[in-house]
Amino acid sequence: MSTRKRVSITGIICVLINIQDRRCLVWIYFNPGDGRDSVNVRTANLVFLISTIFWFCMSAVVTKFGKPKFVKSDVKFYKWRNIFISWVHGVLGGTWNFLCVLWYPGLLEDPVFYLNNFIYLMIPFSMGYFLYDVIDNMMNGTLLSNWEVTLHHVLVLIGFTYNWTAKVCLGYSILALMAEINSIFLHFRKMLQFSTVGYETKIYRTTSLLNLISFILCRLLPQCRILNGFYIDGYKLPRMYMVTLSIIFPPGFIINVILFWRIFKSDVLRSLKADKTVKPIKSNSKKED
């Protein structure tokens, strides 16, 4: 007696491509089928290509509109454009990532082999952005000044490329990309700094608090889970792959710890020092009166 595997379609994307006046209609189905046979590398290649082109097109659109009036005059336009596009990717990628974890919690139980199209295609989508960002920094001559970002993107591209092509550890990739949820607040905080909004305003303080909380929950904790996964799931993977991960992952984790300390020192410690400085001034003014 044969059994039929149930497949429910949760979403469809229709992509229309015009190649030499020949229109090609591509349907990408999102379904909860698991296993390596449920995904297609060629489809992922297409998403990677479309994603890379999309971010360059968005860069062109932002350039056409120019720098907004609320941005400080001393802020260079390419910096504003870069952080704005990073924020857009954070919103899109962070939402996608949240839905992956919400709809398919099985990826947390088996991050090595759990797989479906909705999870799988997020990887090339984000990789398209990372490639764009590296090229954008290269074109603006900021590869060295933004060495932390450049190194992070290169390490991610190296690690994710194997996961993407070998169709393994996509759950761990999703865990790593939980950082995009934090990026929503991280980059919005930077945009506020570029604008005329003061550090003492309610919107900046709220964004700063959400940034610190999401940094711990969506960056540091997931990366600790990935580090623990080296011990739990290491035996399931090729030794050379584990050696490569052991080389490229720790620098990325250290970069995030350093970044968290910088933000904490800037937003929390500086505020505490400012409050201590203001109080004596107020008390002295009362005595003078």
Domain residue ranges of the chain, discontinuous segments joined by +:
35-268
Q: Grade residue 242 by pLDDT with cuts at 50, 70 and 90.
A: confident
Supply the mean pLDDT for the chain.
83
CA geometry: angle 260, 233, 105, nearest 5 deg: 70
pTM for the whole thing? 0.81
Express each pLDDT in 33-91 by its tens digit: 466 777 889 999 999 999 999 999 999 999 999 999 999 999 999 999 999 999 999 99
Q: Is residue 180 over pLDDT 70?
A: yes
Provide φ and ψ at 19, rounded to 5°: -120, 110
Q: Grade residue 276 by pLDDT with cuts at 50, 70 and 90.
A: low
Rg (CA), the chain: 22
- Per-residue pLDDT at 25: 40
Residue carrying structure tokens 């082999």: 113
Token output for 89: 């990717």
Mean pLDDT calculated for residue range 139-155: 86
Q: Grade residue 192 by pLDDT with cuts at 50, 70 and 90.
A: very high
- Can you tell me whether residue 8 is helix, strand or coil? coil
CB 225, CB 231: distance < 8 Å: no
Give the H or E element holding residue 193.
Answer: helix 179-194
Residue carrying structure tokens 């990325």: 252
Cβ neighbours of residue 84 under 8 Å, at least 6 residues apart? 62, 187, 191
Express each pLDDT in 164-175 by its tens digit: 898 989 999 999
- Per-residue pLDDT at 155: 87
Which among 25-39, 220-234, 262-276 has the top mean pLDDT? 220-234
- Per-residue pLDDT at 287: 37
- Burial (CB < 10 A; 0-12, 13-18, 19+), residue 4, is exposed
- Per-residue pLDDT at 121: 95
